[in-house]
């Protein structure tokens, strides 16, 4: 009896395995199809907005397909059927009329029957099971509709992977921009540490320099920052830092120190102070001035008088550049000439404090200028991020027959007679052929006066001869006819002969007005954020 029952159990196990194969043929394609549908949807979205490139799409497709297969496999293998459940399935599938289920229930003790009846029932069940045609009564089939859709979605996915994605360029640019923004965040954090470690700055100066950087970091770290917003943020920080550099600039003082320190450098008592001034070492000059104040009582009257003369000469050199320092040195010289050593010491101590302050201002200005340069470079990197081809701007050269020439960032020659060199100098007047590095040619008009070195790309309107045009008569009030000067600047102007229309206003005199007007416009909200940086760069490049 046990042998017959083991034979029944073995057959039920085989039928259960065949059932799992049948379910696998049905569920695994469904799971794979679900994964491919997800991948196709992702591919479609990726072509409507910058989401995934083709390589990432392959990864998504493979992952989704494997996930679908895994889900289908879990559905198939997750069904745990007991021996009684397998027997009842066999009864339903093969028409055994509950023979297998009854045999299992009798064997497990769920039904109590006489042993002889149990033996006969089991023999009848085994006989019925042996006559089952498994292949005919339990065929393995596939769902053709699932495989049809599976083929369609697989083909669509293959097309999405092989065909170029129109959003890939925008996607790469967006990723490049975000990567560049992340790099600039790191640079700003490093710049923060650099400012904090600068011992030449006071705590107040450090806070002033750190404020624009901290504001920029806060905006950039806000998340989901566009390229235009990042450019505008860094442009604002750069402008604030450049303003701080200008406010703390000691450029005029530095240029005058060489001359101002000359008299003291030749004086034995004031040599250290004079040499520090000539070297532009304001911190050293502050220390030297304090030391000189301490050494005054030890000087002889003749040495004090000689020192007074040299201090007075230094004070004269600094007048108009740093009046406060000049006055303090002049007070020290006057006190020495009057024999008041204590007053001279106090004046030199005051001068030492002023030099210390100027040294800190100079350090702050240099730090602000350096920080502004780094922020400006970061802004340009963000503006250029994601660009596959960078345009190159060539310098233009204009040439013609002339007797003068001008040289600046660009070079120009014309039929004029002026000569100048440097960033602020310009071109002679006349006509000349213009040829850029890109190979374009045309006719350019030279303009007189300084400033042409930065204006090689500035459009100059064609001069029109209006001498033959019919004018319009305007009736003026009698008082204007008698005294035009009282009727405004326009009526007091004198006519200009044709051929001398060119302006003779120096370039560096009018540039400030244009720059200030641009700065005021940049503070308005009507200029797009992404354009403010370009406008600021444009006027920076025109700086005389």
Report yes or no on 272 lying in a domain. Answer: yes
Beta strands, E only, 241-335: none
Q: Is the pLDDT of residue 457 over 50?
A: no
CB atoms within 10 A of CB 212: 25
- Are both 189 and 301 inside the same structural domain? yes
Query: What is the residue range of 185's domain?
Result: 173-385
- Are both 195 and 79 inside the same structural domain? no
pLDDT band at 476 (very low <50, low <70, confident <90, very high): low
| Radius of gyration, CA atoms only, the chain | 46
- Are both 224 and 342 inside the same structural domain? yes
Report yes or no on 433 lying in a domain. Answer: no
> Could you tell me if 447 and 408 are in contact, meaning their C-beta atoms sit under 8 angstroms apart?
no
pLDDT band at 421 (very low <50, low <70, confident <90, very high): very low
Over the chain, what is the mean pLDDT?
A: 76
- Among the candidates 385, 403, 419, a domain finishes at 385
| Percent above pLDDT 90 for the chain | 13
Report yes or no on 414 lying in a domain. Answer: no
- Are both 13 and 149 inside the same structural domain? yes
Mean pLDDT, range 406-427, rounded to an integer: 38
> For helices 341-384 and 203-220, what crossing angle results, to 10°?
10
Return the structure tokens found at 330.
């002049």
- Are both 99 and 16 inside the same structural domain? yes
Rounded Cα gap, residues 540 and 544, in angstroms: 9
- Are both 25 and 152 inside the same structural domain? yes
Rounded Cα gap, residues 212 and 143, in angstroms: 66
Q: What is the DSSP string of 32-44?
A: HHHHHHHHHHHHH
Q: What local confidence, expressed as pLDDT, does residue 214 receive?
A: 92
Q: What local confidence, expressed as pLDDT, does residue 522 receive?
A: 64
- Are both 237 and 348 inside the same structural domain? yes
> What are 48-84's pLDDT values in tens digits?
887 787 788 888 888 888 888 888 888 877 777 888 8
Report yes or no on 496 lying in a domain. Answer: no
Q: What is the DSSP string of 178-241?
A: HHHHHHHHHHHHHHHHHHHT-TTS-HHHHHHHHHHHHHHHHHHTTSS--HHHHHHHHHHHHHHH
Handedness of CA 126, 131, 137, 139 (dihedral sign): positive
Handedness of CA 363, 364, 367, 370 (dihedral sign): negative
Q: Is the pLDDT of residue 286 over 80?
A: yes
C-alpha neighbours within 13 Å on the C-beta side of residue 263 = 17
Q: Is the pLDDT of residue 350 over 90?
A: yes
- Among the candidates 352, 385, 418, a domain finishes at 385
Give the position of tokens 């532009």: 280
> What are 99-144's pLDDT values in tens digits?
888 888 888 888 888 888 888 888 888 888 888 888 888 888 888 8
State the burial class of residue 201 (Cβ atoms within 10 Å of its Cβ: 0-12, 13-18, 19+). Answer: buried
Q: Is the pLDDT of residue 505 over 70?
A: no
> For helices 227-247 and 341-384, what crossing angle results, to 10°?
160
> What are 302-349's pLDDT values in tens digits?
888 999 899 999 999 898 888 899 999 999 999 999 989 899 999 999
Q: What local confidence, expressed as pLDDT, does residue 388 receive?
A: 53
pLDDT band at 415 (very low <50, low <70, confident <90, very high): very low
**Total number of domains constituting the chain:** 3
- Among the candidates 162, 182, 204, a domain finishes at 162
Report yes or no on 320 lying in a domain. Answer: yes
Cα–Cα distances in Å, from 332 out to 298, 359, 494?
16, 21, 56
């Amino acid at each position: 009896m046990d042998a017959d029952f083991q034979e029944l159990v073995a057959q039920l196990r085989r039928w259960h395995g065949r059932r799992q194969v049948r379910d696998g043929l049905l569920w695994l394609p469904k799971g794979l199809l679900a994964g491919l549908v997800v991948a196709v949807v992702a591919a479609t979205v990726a072509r409507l907005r910058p989401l995934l490139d083709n390589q990432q799409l392959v990864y998504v497709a493979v992952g989704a397909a494997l996930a679908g297969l895994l889900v289908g496999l879990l559905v198939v293998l997750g069904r745990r059927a007991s021996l009684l459940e397998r027997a009842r399935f066999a009864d339903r599938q093969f028409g055994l009329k509950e023979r297998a289920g009854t045999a299992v229930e009798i064997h497990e003790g769920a039904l109590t029957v006489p042993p002889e009846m149990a033996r006969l029932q089991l023999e009848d069940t085994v006989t019925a099971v042996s006559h089952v045609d498994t292949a005919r009564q339990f065929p393995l089939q596939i769902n053709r509709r699932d495989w049809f859709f599976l083929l369609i979605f697989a083909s669509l996915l293959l097309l999405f992977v092989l065909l170029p994605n129109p959003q890939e360029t925008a996607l790469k640019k967006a990723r490049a921009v975000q990567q560049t923004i992340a790099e600039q965040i790191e640079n700003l954090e490093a710049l923060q540490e650099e400012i904090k470690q600068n011992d030449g700055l006071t705590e107040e100066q450090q806070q002033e320099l750190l404020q624009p950087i901290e504001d920029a970091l806060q905006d950039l770290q806000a998340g989901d920052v566009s390229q235009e917003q990042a450019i505008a943020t860094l442009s604002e920080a750069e402008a604030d830092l450049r303003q701080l550099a200008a406010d703390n600039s000691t450029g005029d003082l530095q240029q005058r120190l060489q001359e101002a320190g000359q008299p003291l450098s030749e004086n034995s008592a004031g040599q250290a102070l004079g040499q520090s001034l000539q070297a532009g070492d304001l911190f050293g000059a502050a220390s030297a001035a304090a030391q000189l104040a301490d050494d005054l009582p030890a000087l002889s009257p003749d040495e004090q008088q000689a020192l007074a003369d040299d201090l007075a000469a230094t004070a004269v050199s600094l007048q108009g550049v740093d009046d406060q320092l000049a006055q303090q040195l002049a007070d020290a010289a006057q006190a020495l000439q009057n024999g008041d050593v204590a007053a001279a010491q106090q004046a030199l101590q005051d001068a030492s404090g002023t030099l210390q302050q100027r040294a800190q201002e100079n350090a702050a200005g240099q730090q602000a200028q350096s920080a502004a340069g780094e922020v400006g470079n970061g802004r340009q990197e963000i503006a250029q991020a994601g660009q596959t081809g960078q345009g190159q701007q060539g310098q233009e050269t204009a040439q013609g027959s002339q007797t003068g020439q001008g040289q600046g960032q660009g070079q120009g020659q014309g039929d004029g007679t002026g000569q100048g060199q440097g960033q602020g100098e310009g071109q002679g007047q006349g006509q000349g052929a213009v040829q850029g590095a890109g190979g374009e040619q045309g006719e350019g008009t030279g303009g007189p006066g300084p400033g042409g070195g930065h204006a090689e790309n500035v459009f100059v309107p064609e001069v029109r001869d209006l001498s033959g045009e019919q004018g319009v008569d305007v009736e003026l009030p009698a008082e204007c006819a008698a005294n035009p000067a009282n009727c405004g600047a326009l009526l007091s102007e004198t006519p200009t002969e044709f051929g001398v229309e060119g302006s003779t206003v120096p370039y560096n005199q009018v540039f400030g007005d244009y720059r200030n007007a641009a700065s005021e416009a940049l503070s308005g909200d009507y200029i797009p954020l992404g354009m403010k940086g370009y406008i600021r760069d444009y006027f920076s490049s025109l700086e005389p």
